[in-house]
Amino acid sequence: MSIGHTLLGLLETGPRHGYDLKRAFDERFGHDRPLHYGQVYSTMSRLLKNGLVEVEGVEPGGGPERKRYAITEAGVTDVADWLAQPEKPEPYLQSTLYTKVVLALLTHRSAADILDTQRTEHLRLMRELTRRKQDGDLADQLICDHALFHLDADLRWLELTAARLGRLAEEIGA
């Protein structure tokens, strides 16, 4: 999962201090693995260097966690591009997709579009695997079927999530 894009997306909802950003990330997406402060600082300095965020102010006491960051125009475009780009279909995508869906809701973009774009991408690969399976021998068939069942599970998750977007938006306060 792209931590840079996720932090950037969180910043799009409003400027935040470094420590606040880490807390928001951990709360929403950290689950069992919270960010280290070090990750936050290195990510923020990279985003700063690339002009995707700017420093709005620094609280007394210094330290990077005291800097107040704001997203730039270029940063907003970067988030939009990332959200619009489907993920390469592969198993265990859920955490990235979940992050994208939540960020889309928080930034008032269409989460349904993200899910549908991803579903198109998944189906495209499933079609390719189905074709390969039909042309192949039994070994090909078994290998393709394994991938197909995993992609199918992802797709069911996409479908179920699409049906629950309203409730999710309420629960995350978007």
Contacting positions for another protein (CB under 8 A):
112, 116-117, 119-120, 122-123, 126-127, 129-130, 134, 148-149, 151-152, 155-156, 159, 162-163
CB 123 within 8 A of CB 162: no
Per-residue tokens: 86: 């489907």
Nearer to another protein, 50 or 120 (CB): 120
Closest approach of another protein to the CB of residue 85, in Å: 10
Distance of CA 15 to the CA centre of its chain: 19
Closest approach of another protein to the CB of residue 83, in Å: 13
Per-residue tokens: 21: 């950003």
Return the ∠ at Cα 2 (arms to 82 and 15), rounded to 5°.
80
Closest approach of another protein to the CB of residue 163, in Å: 6
Nearer to another protein, 3 or 169 (CB): 169
Those residues with Cβ within 8 angstroms of residue 56's Cβ, 6 or more apart along the chain or in another chain: 15, 68, 69, 70
Closest approach of another protein to the CB of residue 58, in Å: 43
Nearer to another protein, 20 or 116 (CB): 116
Question: Helix 138-163 crosses helix 111-135 at what angle (to 10 degrees)?
Answer: 160
Phi/psi of residue 63, each to 5°? 75, 140
* Nearest of 77, 81, 74, 10 to residue 40 by alpha carbon: 10
Nearer to another protein, 95 or 120 (CB): 120
Nearer to another protein, 105 or 144 (CB): 144
Closest approach of another protein to the CB of residue 78, in Å: 20
Q: How many CA atoms lie within 13 A of 120 on its CB side?
A: 9
